[in-house]
Amino acid sequence: MVRRLSIAAFVLALLALAAVGLTFWYVCPCERTPGGPLQFVEATAPVEDWGFANEVGLCQLEVQALVPWSVNLNCMSDQQKLYISCARCDGKFWSTIALRNDIGRIAVGDRAYPVRMRRVLDPLELDLAWRARAQKTGRGLDQPRATHWWSFELTSVRER
């Protein structure tokens, strides 16, 4: 009898854990907790001027691994271009996927946009993205760009 209760308690605990996990998967990304597919209306028109990205806090990026994987990131615009960034990005799950599969979606405000991601390697363009980030967040304006800081330029694509 005790063994049956233990098995039942274990099964209930697994089901509860699965329910919580699935809830986070479809509700998040939340703060630093990643999530699954973005739950936003998808924009149909391509974007040529990403300036509106500076009007929102964080953006949510969805990359395509075996399953959709989304995270919250800094996003910023300069000269109509859209950049996302992260510190100590090397080896993070989303950035590793973005380097292998450059098609994703970015949620800015209440819309998701299909995008192509390109890691920025040119120091001058990295400095431009760093300044755009610093101006948007108010942090780092008086500091040089950190060497461990990565940025990706995102360009709008018509369809995935």
Domain limits, the chain: 1-33, 41-156
CA dihedral 29, 33, 138, 53 (to 10 degrees): -20
pLDDT of residue 12: 60
pLDDT digits (tens, 9 = 90+) for 1-14: 667 667 766 656 55
Q: Specify the DSSP class assigned to residue 90.
A: T
Predicted pLDDT of residue 34 = 80
| Residues of the chain where predicted confidence (pLDDT) is lower than 70 | 1-2, 4-5, 8-32, 159-160
Fold of 41-156: Pnp Oxidase; Chain A (2.30.110)
> What is the pTM assigned to this prediction?
0.82
Encode pLDDT of 93-103 as tens digits.
Answer: 999 999 999 99
Determine the pLDDT at residue 33.
Answer: 77
